[in-house]
Amino acid sequence: AVTRRVACPDGKNTVTNAACCALFPILDDIQENLFDNAECGEEVHESLRLTFHDAIGFSFAANRAKTFGGGGADGSIITFSDIETNFHANNGIDEIVEEQRPFITKHNITAGDFIQFAGAVGVSNCPGAPQLDFFFGRPAAVAPAPDKTVPEPFDDVDSILSRFADTGFSPAEVVALLSSHTVAAADHVDPSIPGTPFDSTPFVFDTQFFIETQLRGTLFPGTGGNQGEVESPLRGEIRLQSDSELARDSRTACLWQGFVNEQAKMQSAFKAAMAKMAVLGHNVDDMVDCSEVIPSTKPVTGTAHLPAGLTHNDIEQACATTPFPALPADPGPVTTVAPVPGS
Ligand code: HEM
Ligand SMILES: [Ca+2]
Ligand SMILES: [Mn+2]
């Protein structure tokens, strides 16, 4: 069958649904002015984090009890930022909220749509990322999400998995969503070292995050004793307690290891879980599929490896049924991971 395409008023683009035309000026504006000419930098990382902190404000248990558990991916984190940015788990999110707000004011789009659109566009700038879906049509948020919907890095695995289950996510989907920490850094876990990444390649959407979180922790990159932080294997790299525990818990360890050097598998699992997360609280039948507006993606750069100076003996095997995959080690002495600029 031939799909009829509609020409957009810009004279440049065609789409299957005319409603999607409105997204092209926003796409051009954010690529240039929010993401510094389509980089996979700090603003992309923060925008991806924001998709999660907005969407996870949702609760099936609250819905069943006929109470309000949050509107999901509704933009409430921006619309009601006076309330939500003060939640402990949202520490630092105010920065990207205030960077995104002028784009929402300038363009005719709801905060809920903008947050998920910016996240999907931003991720497309990271080599190795999948092309995420984008569904258009979230109404304006009606109320702030309640506190305690966003997991904390010091939460145990039970509490993390039950919080995600309350929004409809399985342990496998939780692990898939955490692929996001491959393009990520922490500014506030150890405030003395802002911009400290979770893996050695924070500008590449690769599987290094799943490899490096399985290495034995040996040092704190800055100061010790921060809540939610455990020892990492490399200078300049930070490890969240939650990531460390998910990598080692019997419910999630084999899922975690299962993404090591499995780029295509990680991409498709992340894409599927993100598609579900991005529409939490909404019915996709009421939305328009504008996925074709999301830019095509770039192939991953580099190959899965153990960081220089480390060997297979430094892996803390946690999956009981399958050995950790054999990987080449980078040559040379142990190196230090550089911080993400602009954090
Ligand atoms: C168990 C669940 C999770 C916990 C406990 C958690 C915790 C954290 C923490 C503590 C930070 C550092 C914030 C800072 O100090 O600047 C962070 C960063 C980040 N998180 Fe998560 N996270 C979780 C799940 C997710 C999910 C599901 C996504 C997206 C789908 C996500 C995306 C990100 C990104 C992209 C960053 C980096 C932000 C930047 O570089 O500025 N996280 N996360
Ligand atoms: Ca990476
Ligand atoms: Mn940051």
Spell out the residues 6+ positions from residue 288 whose beta carbon is closer than 8 angstroms to its own: 17, 19, 20, 135, 136, 137
Give 320 Cα–ligand 1 centroid separation in angstroms. 27
Which pLDDT belongs to residue 343? 72
Q: Computed from CA positions of residues 145, 146, 147, 152, in that sequence, does the dihedral angle turn out positive or negative? A: negative
- Pocket lined around ligand 1, Cβ cut-off 6 Å: 42, 45-46, 48-49, 52, 92, 151-153, 160, 177-178, 180-181, 183-189, 228, 240, 242
Which residues are in the CB-under-5-Å shell of ion ligand 3? 187, 343
Q: Does ipTM top 0.95?
A: yes
Which pLDDT belongs to residue 75? 98
54 carries a ligand binding annotation: yes
Which pLDDT belongs to residue 1? 65
Spell out the residues 6+ positions from residue 117 whose beta carbon is closer than 8 angstroms to its own: 23, 26, 27, 109, 134, 136
Which pLDDT belongs to residue 3? 73
319, 257 in Cβ contact below 8 A?
A: yes
- Residue ranges, the chain, pLDDT below 70: 1
Which pLDDT belongs to residue 153? 98
Residue carrying structure tokens 């009829």: 4
25, 109 in Cβ contact below 8 A?
A: no
